[in-house]
Structure 1
């Protein structure tokens, strides 16, 4: 008699391994394609969790790009994908396509610290934990991406030039703006903030990527280290 294999459902997994909890804690960028799809289709079937079913979809059709051209009938042909799940997947694919079109037509241009702060404020002003992000810009100061680099206080051990400029190089950025929040709501730079900024400016000069500014976000207010003459 064979050994009975027990399979965990998503609810039975440790909290840090569940897609929803991972997204809340680490951001959507921390999830795999299959985990993101699992949040959309929500439930799997008797034999497959939502993540496993999502991975089946990606494997069967050759990745995320396939969702753009698959028909409803093709999607429902996968065991465990009914009409409701197929419709959800097609709707998300269409939204993604439209967002991509908008991004291609109209890129955000950062002309001043206020422009960058305006983009960062909605996400950072209410956080109870300090996070460090980058604003990646192309040669025309057009926004490329705003990746999360670290969580926790700004120290040289947490915000390392290697991690900061790895993202910049990967995205072919010509310049970066450093950004983090102060959960206290008061965006006054600390000694650590200034030390880390100076270190990253020096590293950027060696690599050939300009560090234009460091913006600290408070509760509805911000400080630009460049405007304040700190850097």
Structure 2
């Protein structure tokens, strides 16, 4: 199936380009995850590379994954995100994650994979077919410069559009820590569905487990989302 918009993607692309130019931000997309891993280690030391995008753990290439970064006018890294296709083997996401959820830990040290757990949410039973995982979303912490200025909708939708153009997925999904989800992060970057308590991670040295929301969109959600004038979202 080919993606269709009631209009087309051109207005979104033009408006997002104008917003990024006004902020002095240049985006780059690539598929060499050795390059991305080195970039993250060197320029994003406060958040380590997520396991789903570690080339030492997965065969990542231009056919099944990409990364997207943003730099400011000084060439400094101010944004990252990445996506990869997930092969469900004809199963729903719930069955896949029952066995594979430990492949999607948060980028924290000391995660106890043996004591952590996955709970199938209603959405995971519906998500099937061609599926993409969305992660690595980070924006430089200078609040008032890059955060809280309407960039998240632009960056989130840009990544989602790239997934649609590459793979035309039936669904995209990701995981958002509670502390971030409660601040409205999922809604800001463009997720129409959020389901709580999907993953619960036990971390050494923490009294309570870290809880996680499942965030997801269907193809129809993405078509609707990208047809909304970006000025309304940003």
What is the TM-score of this pair, normalised by structure 2? 0.31
What is the TM-score of this pair, normalised by structure 1? 0.31
Whichever of the two has the greater Rg, that structure is 1
Q: Pick the structure with more helix per residue.
A: 1
Answer 1 or 2: higher relative contact order, Cα 8 Å, separation at least 6. Answer: 2
